[in-house]
Amino acid sequence: MLKEAWKIMQFWKILPALWPQERTHMSNQTMQQAKGIITSIQGQIATIEIEGEIFPQLSEILVASHDNSVILEVFSQSTDTTFVQILSNPDKLYRGMPVSSTGSDLKIPVGPAVLGRVIDLFGNTRDNGGPFKPDKKTSIYAKTPSLNIVKTNYQILETGIKAIDFLTPIQKGGKVGFIGGAGVGKTILLTELMHNVTFKQTGNVFSVFAGVGERIREGQELFQRLKQSGILPKTVILLGQMNENAAIRFRVALAAAAQAEYFRDEMKSDVLLFVDNMFRFVQAGAEVATLLGTIPSEQAYQATLQTEISTFEDRLIPTESGTITSFQNVYVPADEITDAGVTTVVSFLDTSIVLSRSIAQKGIYPPIDLFQSSSSTLSKAFLGEVHFKALTEFQKILENYNKLSHIVAIVGEEELSAENRILYNRTKKIINYLTQPFFMTETQTGKKGISVPKETTVNDITMILSGKLDNIPADKFMYIGSLADAKISV
C-alpha cells in the first residue's frame, strides 16, 4: 500500500515537468506552415491536397507560394483534402499551384482611421481618397459574448419618422429589420433613418454601413448622400457588391460586425450598424453550400442557415462598454414573406417593419404594413402611459377600419352608419398623418424633408383620436410634419 502511494507521489512530482513540454510541442506544431497544391477548381471553391502532416486551421488564410495576391480561406476539411473559398481573382489559379498557410484568419482595418472611408473586405479603399494607415487590424470572426456581459437597455431610440416612432418603436441596442420585396422603399427608409438617427445622436456615436450583395450604384449614391449631409466623417462603409463572388459577399457582414464591435469595446461607444441586404448574406451562403455539394434543407437553402445567421446576429448586443443598434434590410423574394431565408432572419429581430407593395401603390410612404409589423417595445413600461394608450386605441379602430374598407370598396362610404363613418375617417386621417416627406427624396419629390419628435407625434395622434379634428378632410393630413407645421388645429 505504501509502495503504491510512493509511486503516485513520484508521478505527481514529474507531471509539471512533462506538461509544459507537451504544450510547447503542440504550440510549435500549430505554428508550422501547412503546404499543399491545388487539385481542382470549381467556381469559387478550390480543392487542395495537403503535403505532409501539418494541416491549416478552419478559416485560416492561404496564399500562393509565389503570389500573395491569391487569397484563399479554409472552409472545410476531410482526411487528406482541404476545401477553400477563393477570395481573390479566380483567373490566377491553376491546377498544381503550390499554396501555403499564413497562420492567420482574415483581418480588416478598424478604428478612427477608417471613419469617412469606403473600403472592401480586405481594407482596400473604394472612394478614390487614396490609401490610409490603419490604426489596427482585427479578425472578422469573434466568439459570441457571454451572457453575463450583456446589458439590457430600456431606452427608446427616436428616429423622427412618425410611423416608426408611433407604431414600431426601436429599442436602443436592439435589432430592426425592414422587410419587403423589390422597389417598396427599403433602402430609402434605411438611409433616411441613418440620416435622422445619426443627427440626433450626441457624444461618441459611430455608424457602420455594410453593403452586402447590393448594386454598385447604390453604394455610390449612399456615399454622396452621407457626404452632402455631413455625417460621413463618423461613418465607415464596407462594400461587398453584387458583382463580387459569393465568398466575399458572405463575409462582408461579418467584417461590419467586427468594425462595430471595435467601436463598442475598444472606443466605448454606441454604434449604429446598417446592413443592406441580409437576404443577400443568406443567398451567398446558399451559393457556397451548393458549390460544395452539401445536401440542401428547406426551399433549397443550406442546412446550416440558422447557424450562419446566428454567427452574425449574436455578436450585435449591448454591453457595459456600449450598444450596437442594427438596422437590417431584408429582401423578400417574389413578395413571399414565408420564405425560409426571410423567416430565419426575422426570428433574430426585435422589431420587424414590413413594407407592403399594395400600400406603396396607394401613394402612402413609408408603406408600412400595420398588421404584419411588430416590435418588442410595445408595452407600457417602454412607451409610457400616453403613448401606450394612444397606440392601443388606434389598433382597435384600425381593425375595424380594415373591415369597413372592404364595404367602402363595394358600396361606397355613404352606405356606412354615421358612427362607422366617423371612425373610418378618423382612422384614415391617422394613416395619412403617418406619411411624411423624407430628406433622402427631396430631389425626387421637391418636398423638403421633415423630422418629427416622438412626443409631438403621440400628442398629434391623441388629438385626432379625441375627435376634435373630425371636421377637417383626411387629405389635409397627407405628407405633413406635425399638425402645427400644417397649421391644423381645433
Which CATH topology does 383-477 take? 1.10.1140
**Residue in 186, 280, 315, 428 annotated catalytic:** 186
Residue 25 has pLDDT above 60, yes or no: no
Helix (H, G, I), strand (E, B) or coil at 483: coil
For residues 397 and 442, the answer to whether their CB atoms sit within 8 Å is no
Which range among 168-172, 224-228, 393-397 shows the weakest confidence by mean pLDDT? 224-228
Please tell me whether the peptide bond between 90 and the residue prior to it is cis, using omega within 30 degrees of 0.
Answer: no
Active site (annotated) includes residue 200: no
Nearest to 374 by CA among 198, 179, 161, 153: 179
Give the model's confidence band at 199: pLDDT under 50 very low, under 70 low, under 90 confident, else very high. Answer: confident
What does the pLDDT average to over 211-227?
A: 87
Q: Residue 289 is placed in which grid cell?
A: 453550400
pLDDT reported for residue 33: 87
Q: What contacts 24+ positions apart, CB below 8 Å, involve 83-86?
A: 83/45, 83/46, 83/47, 83/48, 83/292, 84/45, 84/46, 84/47, 84/48, 85/44, 85/45, 85/247, 85/288, 86/41, 86/44, 86/45, 86/46, 86/245, 86/247
**Residue in 73, 158, 192, 214 annotated catalytic:** 214
pLDDT reported for residue 71: 95
What does the pLDDT average to over 200-225?
A: 86
What does the pLDDT average to over 148-167?
A: 90
Tens of pLDDT, residues 387-421: 999 999 999 999 999 889 989 989 888 889 999 99
What does the pLDDT average to over 194-212?
A: 87
pLDDT reported for residue 77: 87
Active site (annotated) includes residue 186: yes
Give the model's confidence band at 469: pLDDT under 50 very low, under 70 low, under 90 confident, else very high. Answer: very high
Active site (annotated) includes residue 215: yes
For residues 69 and 86, the answer to whether their CB atoms sit within 8 Å is no
What does the pLDDT average to over 176-187?
A: 94
The dotted CATH code for 109-378 is 3.40.50.300
Q: Residue 484 is placed in which grid cell?
A: 402645427
pLDDT reported for residue 101: 93
For residues 187 and 253, the answer to whether their CB atoms sit within 8 Å is no
pLDDT reported for residue 31: 59
For residues 158 and 454, the answer to whether their CB atoms sit within 8 Å is yes
pLDDT reported for residue 132: 87
Which CATH topology does 31-105 take? Thrombin, subunit H (2.40.10)
Q: Output phi, psi for 17, to 5 deg.
A: -75, -35
Q: Output phi, psi for 241, to 5 deg.
A: -85, 180
Please state, for a pLDDT cut of 90, what percent of the chain lies above it.
Answer: 65
| Cα-based torsion angle of the residue sequence 216, 217, 222, 223 in order, rounded to the nearest 10 degrees | 70
**Residue in 137, 200, 215, 421 annotated catalytic:** 215
Query: In the chain, where are the structural domains located?
Result: 31-105, 109-378, 383-477
